[in-house]
Chains A and B, each alone.
Chain A
Amino acid sequence: MKIAVCIKYSLDASEVKVDPASKELKMAGVPYKVGVIDKHVLETAVTLKETYGGTVHALTVGPTKAKESFREALAFGLEDVTLIENPLEGEVAPDVTAVILAKAIEKLGDVDVVVCGEVSDDGFTYQVPPRLAEALHMPQISFARTAAIEDGQLVADRDLEDSVQTVAAPLPALISVMEECNTPRRPTLLEAMKAKKKPVNIWNVETDLGLSIAELQQKAALEKVHAEGVVVHRKQYVLKGDDLNALSNELVDLLLADHIIEGGA
């Protein structure tokens, strides 16, 4: 079985701060890393491989400097990681990403299962997996909490707001998993050292995938015209101390004084 996983070098959104005066998003120094969800994606793929046999190949669209951060991914026990250099300036739009990933999966050839995350930490669009399924003409099991192969079909629990469904799709198929689907392993030192020797391939969209950058640029349907931070004003009054009675009284007095609650005896 040949498994392709899509992972993303994401910025850590929890580190993005907002300047309260200018509403500017302060992006300097915000770290990038392999996304939180991606560890679950890798775990899903590697567990499938261990259970049913096969190979796992990771794909990512991003900046070349992301190369180093995929060592950790390789340590999960993948065959290789291929980084497809982001052909456009700035963030990669989900519509463009899906087109590129589809082409790369076709190039890998004979892929049986594609594993994605339900949503990326920073893109946060939920768009790439369904768009990719469309492009590859594959059925997709979204919001999966489990993953198994039974009688040549991909079988998983799909978790929606009002229902949990056990669904099956003939291979090749795409699955996008939720964080709750598993607990990712922690690769050991020796696994990580072996992974250091594995390749991170770099593909270029034009020379390796035969796509035209000009056409990809055309495809991006959204044009960013403005960005700003969301400023929330809170009093941030913090009480501490060992005497919980005193703390409670102090807090209640404050709430009364600020008319958050009503007094009267």
Chain B
Amino acid sequence: MDEFDVVIVGAGPAGATAAYLLAKAGLSVVVIERGQEPGSKNVSGGLIYAQIYDEIYPNFWEEAPVERAIAGHSIVFLGDTAVTAMGYRDEATAPPYNAFSVLRARFDPWLAAQAEEAGAMVMPGFTVDELVMEDGRVTGVKAGGDELPAKVVVIAEGTRSQLLKQAGLREDYDPKDVSIGIKEVIQLPEQTITDRFQCLTADEGAAYTLVGHTAGAEGGGFIYTNRDTLSLGVVVKIDSVYKSKRHPHEILDEFKSHPFVARLINGGEVVEYSAQTVHRGGFHLIPKMVGDGYVVAGSAARLLLNNVMTLRGMDVAVASAAAAAQAIIEAKEKDDFSAAGLASYERHFQATSVYKDMQTFKNAYPLLENKRLFHVYPDMVCDIMDDMFSVRAQPAKKGYRALRDRMKEHDVSLWELAKDMVQIGKGIAI
């Protein structure tokens, strides 16, 4: 078998998109995917932000198996029994859409099919066991009992990326930088979902980000509407899961037992359960994205935008893959696949709107460490709301009085609150 220009490890959004763009540019490309089918091994909330996909796959929603166009986003603080929510909805969702819910088991095969149509060879059912190295340079991969040489290897194997570490090309992770995502797909009749989430039609959907009620672990939850299922899950810091001594599944159960969540999923049947690690995100975690004979794209490069309100991995993955593809095309023209020849990857990536968003929210990451945000404020906010809306025998309080009393009750000092407000402000507001 002749040498390929490019071997891509993993047919997730990053791998499939790199394959698509490279094959379209006439390079010979093979994608090796561990799952029996692309998407069969992927865990994701499944909310994709459409902008970058639309650039690469124009009007993809007309053809791709998307579930619902997201018309409403809400952030919900889960108190003990109460909730405080802030919602946004666009009553006239229309192209170009902002976001879609997708089921990866259906969406990833579609992406892979685009790559195949463009001329790439997609090989599901095979795991890349190791990178082949010669003099510190990646020259191919070993998979399925064979060695496959390539001019350049695109490492797009997702978070659990072992290949780079094995080859001595990156350090091990620090567990404090890793979260675990636990997710269920819950089946409900299409109409029930449409009604319960106040969607206008079955083509329209809603996304909830939820904070609080995660059994003592730092993180948040999500509920996204698919056509006749809900994607529901929590993403919590792994070290706090260890500390809580709870099984990840129990954290999900606790989350599901909150009355607000329970009502949304009432009557539904769990048809799928899965768990996977996610990086916490942040620039300082991004490893070297380019080396001799290889590039790293998507969440294998720990690329993720997490600002508490949104978790963006799939559009970041695609943006990085497009930048990597462009760099490889240029390297091919120069016939130089060394680190220097591929160096334009980082530059192209930095020019993307996705990267700019990552920069905008670069100060949001400390928020993910803030215990009060996850364990105190959701309840406290609900209590204050309770003070505002409830009529009781005791005299009512104005906002500030209520706040101070509730702070005392929840053991939050003014200094702490001020510090947290600055953190929130810097992270996501100003």
Q: Touch between A and B in complex, CB under 8 Å?
A: yes
Chain A residues in the interface with B (C-beta under 8 A):
29, 33, 72, 186-190, 192-194, 196
Does B125 sit within 8 A of A, measured CB to CB? yes
Provide 10 A-B residue pairs closer than 8 Å at the C-beta atoms, listed in order of the A residue: A187-B144, A188-B144, A189-B32, A189-B144, A189-B145, A189-B146, A192-B126, A192-B144, A193-B123, A194-B1
Beyond A72-B125, A196-B121, whether A190 also contacts B271 by CB under 8 A is no
**A41→B145 CA distance, assembly (Å):** 23
Q: Which of B30, B36, B145 contacts A188 (CB 8 A)?
A: B145
Residues of A within 8 A of B123 (CB): 189, 192-193, 196
Chain B nearest CB: distance from A23 CB in Å? 15
A189 touches B271 (CB 8 A): no
**A255→B36 CA distance, assembly (Å):** 43
Residues of B within 8 A of A196 (CB): 121, 123
Chain A nearest CB: distance from B188 CB in Å? 13
Most buried by B among A189, A190, A196: A189
Tally of A-B residue pairs with Cβ under 8 A? 31
Extra contacts besides A190-B146, A192-B125, A192-B126 (13): CB < 8 Å = A187-B144, A188-B145, A188-B146, A189-B32, A189-B126, A189-B143, A189-B144, A190-B144, A192-B123, A193-B121, A193-B123, A194-B1, A196-B121
Does B78 sit within 8 A of A, measured CB to CB? no
Chain B residues in the interface with A (C-beta under 8 A):
1, 30, 32, 36, 121, 123, 125-126, 143-146, 148, 271
Residues of A within 8 A of B144 (CB): 186-190, 192
Closest to A75 in B: B125
**A33→B125 CA distance, assembly (Å):** 13
**A113→B386 CA distance, assembly (Å):** 80
6 nearest A-B pairs in the assembled complex, by CB-CB distance: A189-B144, A188-B145, A189-B146, A190-B146, A189-B143, A188-B144
**A193→B271 CA distance, assembly (Å):** 34
**A190→B3 CA distance, assembly (Å):** 12
**A81→B168 CA distance, assembly (Å):** 43
**A192→B32 CA distance, assembly (Å):** 11
Residues of A within 8 A of B148 (CB): 189-190
Residues of B within 8 A of A29 (CB): 271
Residues of A within 8 A of B30 (CB): 193
Closest to B113 in A: A68
Chain B nearest CB: distance from A167 CB in Å? 37
Residues of A within 8 A of B125 (CB): 72, 192
Residues of A within 8 A of B36 (CB): 33
Closest to A187 in B: B144
Closest to B142 in A: A189
**A190→B36 CA distance, assembly (Å):** 16
**A33→B35 CA distance, assembly (Å):** 14
**A193→B36 CA distance, assembly (Å):** 15
**A188→B146 CA distance, assembly (Å):** 7
**A190→B147 CA distance, assembly (Å):** 9
Chain B nearest CB: distance from A155 CB in Å? 33
Chain B nearest CB: distance from A125 CB in Å? 27
Residues of B within 8 A of A187 (CB): 144
**A33→B146 CA distance, assembly (Å):** 25
**A192→B145 CA distance, assembly (Å):** 11
**A188→B125 CA distance, assembly (Å):** 10
Residues of B within 8 A of A194 (CB): 1
**A196→B116 CA distance, assembly (Å):** 11
Closest to B148 in A: A189
Residues of B within 8 A of A188 (CB): 144-146
A190 touches B126 (CB 8 A): no
**A190→B125 CA distance, assembly (Å):** 13
Chain A nearest CB: distance from B153 CB in Å? 14
**A196→B144 CA distance, assembly (Å):** 15
Residues of B within 8 A of A186 (CB): 144
Chain B nearest CB: distance from A184 CB in Å? 14
Residues of A within 8 A of B32 (CB): 189
Closest to A190 in B: B146
**A188→B143 CA distance, assembly (Å):** 8
Chain B nearest CB: distance from A103 CB in Å? 32
Chain B nearest CB: distance from A171 CB in Å? 35
Residues of A within 8 A of B143 (CB): 189
Chain A nearest CB: distance from B162 CB in Å? 18
Residues of B within 8 A of A192 (CB): 123, 125-126, 144
B121 touches A190 (CB 8 A): no
**A198→B142 CA distance, assembly (Å):** 23
Closest to B36 in A: A33
Chain B nearest CB: distance from A185 CB in Å? 11
Closest to B32 in A: A189
Closest to B185 in A: A29
**A1→B145 CA distance, assembly (Å):** 30
**A150→B147 CA distance, assembly (Å):** 39
**A245→B126 CA distance, assembly (Å):** 45
Closest to A196 in B: B121
Closest to A192 in B: B123
Chain B nearest CB: distance from A122 CB in Å? 18
Beyond A29-B271, A72-B125, whether A193 also contacts B1 by CB under 8 A is yes
**A192→B123 CA distance, assembly (Å):** 8
Most buried by A among B32, B36, B125: B125
**A89→B375 CA distance, assembly (Å):** 56
Chain B nearest CB: distance from A42 CB in Å? 15
Chain B nearest CB: distance from A236 CB in Å? 15
**A201→B20 CA distance, assembly (Å):** 26
**A10→B36 CA distance, assembly (Å):** 16
**A193→B123 CA distance, assembly (Å):** 7
**A187→B125 CA distance, assembly (Å):** 10
**A188→B36 CA distance, assembly (Å):** 14
Closest to B143 in A: A189
Chain A nearest CB: distance from B143 CB in Å? 5
Chain B nearest CB: distance from A93 CB in Å? 29
**A29→B143 CA distance, assembly (Å):** 30
**A183→B143 CA distance, assembly (Å):** 21
Chain A nearest CB: distance from B2 CB in Å? 11
Residues of A within 8 A of B126 (CB): 189, 192
**A193→B30 CA distance, assembly (Å):** 9
Closest to B1 in A: A190
Residues of B within 8 A of A72 (CB): 125
